[in-house]
Amino acid sequence: MSQYSLHQQLHFLFSERNPEALRACLNHEDFQSFLTEHSLVIPVEKLVLAFTHSSFSHEYEVPHQELLEFFGDSVVQLIVTQELMKLYPNEKEGKLSKLRSSIVNEKTLAKVASSLELNRLLLVGKGEFKKELHLQETVLSDTMEALIGKIFNFHGLNLTSEKFLGWLRNAVPNAFNMENLEHYDVKSKLQEATLAKYKTLPRYTSDPAGEGFLVKLWVNEHLVAEGVYSSKKIGERELARRALENSQF
């Protein structure tokens, strides 16, 4: 058993940059510990793909998680859709679609990933590790989707659904509450308000700002609110919420 955690081993790799140090990271026992803790049967050499960020891939010429994350997004969408149809069999499609969007998004998936401490298993490049990229919501959300994709590949839909829904409810107990729409659907509410008052839609602009984005909200060609956020979507939603809470409309 290694006395070093995966991220301690990463530091050795950053300084040594040799095949042995790379193998020690890619086959680290922390991956097997995660599998054992969650009763999953996946070869470590297959699981590690879900935790390999593109920055690590570019530095060490190993496959990265992006295609798996793309696949996992579809699996998560399917799992959540099935659960919503079970919970609300008589609800309208439009409302369920909005509730699904309030669940399958960067912020919620990052909460699930954080509750599982997936950041401890993330492989990122040297510069990105110093910037704590492995703690950012976008990266955690992508990794959560990649992990779900990998679990699906080895365990199928039923067990993957059971695992994801259990993790989701543990991290976000009220995730499936219909009342969440009141808070989530703020952009639509702001659109309705600006159309009624100005006969125009709100406009959002964004520019890179460090590791995030400077997002601005414009209404009737006036700057209403601005802020720096980890993603454009989160920024737009938060600015819309601020505008409505400030009773500007």
Residue 207 is a catalytic residue? no
Cα separation, 99 vs 178, whole angstroms: 7
10 Å CB burial of residue 71 (0-12, 13-18, 19+) is: middle
Cα separation, 224 vs 96, whole angstroms: 31
What φ, ψ does residue 229 adopt, rounded to 5°? -135, 160
Residue 45 is a catalytic residue? no
Of the listed 83, 106, 145, 236, which one is catalytic?
145
10 Å CB burial of residue 241 (0-12, 13-18, 19+) is: middle
SS3 88: coil
Of the listed 73, 106, 137, 142, which one is catalytic?
73
- For the CA atoms of 185, 187, 189, 191, the dihedral, rounded to the nearest 10 degrees, stands at -150
Query: Do residues 133 and 55 touch, judged by C-beta distance below 8 A?
Result: yes
The length of the chain is 249
Cα separation, 249 vs 230, whole angstroms: 26
10 Å CB burial of residue 193 (0-12, 13-18, 19+) is: middle
Positions marked catalytic = 73, 145
